[in-house]
Amino acid sequence: MTGHFLGVPLLFIGFILIVNAMWLQGKVESKDVGVFNLIVGVLAFIGALFFGLVQNNIPLSAGGLLFAITYLWIGINALRGAEDQRALGYYCLLVAITTIPYAIKAFQGGDMGWAFEWVTYGILWYLFYLVLAKGNTNVMGITIFGTYFVGIEVAITGWVYLYGYWPILDHLPL
């Protein structure tokens, strides 16, 4: 069975989001999270370059780079023990805004799965903005829940891509 390379970075991105949710809860150490974010950030960066340079899919490449930079930045901040995360928070706001046209484009193209993915990414990155840039601790619980949710969602999407089942609706007996 032939899958799609996109499943590789998505699987790891799903896993790092789950680990990051644990980090937000104080369940794992910052330095370990930093190393894992850097590894996943590099993998996502390479994957994004592959889509742009080899497959000439510039929109997918740009979308992948948005998130690769996030994980690289989190990794560096975690390893250096950064207290002030406002710049990362503002970057997350820009990513959240950028997910809107991606979601619209996916919806217009009839890919409800990716429309949903982009919407959930946008909501989660907006929550990161509220926590990191605005210091809004009132949304920490929903941010942790959202990070787990999107992590599981992305890991499943990665698996679905790895085994060639995307778009998943084409493979369901309806």
Looking at domain 7-164, its CATH class is mainly alpha
Helices 58-80/30-49 angle, 10° precision: 160
Q: What is the pLDDT of residues 66-104, one digit of tens each?
A: 999 999 999 999 999 999 999 999 999 999 999 999 999
1, pLDDT greater than 70 = no
Longest dimension (CA), the chain: 51
174, pLDDT greater than 60 = no
Give the chain's count of helices (H) and strands (E). Answer: 6, 0
Q: What predicted TM-score, i.e. pTM, was given to this entire model? A: 0.92
* Amino acid 65: pLDDT: 95
Domain ranges across the chain:
7-164
Can you read off the two tokens belonging to residue 113? 């799965």
* Amino acid 170: pLDDT: 58
169, pLDDT greater than 90 = no
Tokens 């805004």 — which residue? 97
Segments in 50-85 forming alpha helices (H): 58-80
38, pLDDT greater than 80 = yes
Summary mean pLDDT of the chain:
93
Mean pLDDT of 24-37: 96
Q: What is the pLDDT of residues 102-147, one digit of tens each?
A: 999 999 999 999 999 999 999 999 999 999 999 999 999 999 999 9
pLDDT band of 168, cuts 50, 70, 90? low
pLDDT band of 35, cuts 50, 70, 90? very high
Looking at residue 54, what DSSP letter applies?
Answer: I
The CA distance from 67 to 124, in Å, is: 12
3-state secondary structure of 37: helix
The CA distance from 166 to 77, in Å, is: 35
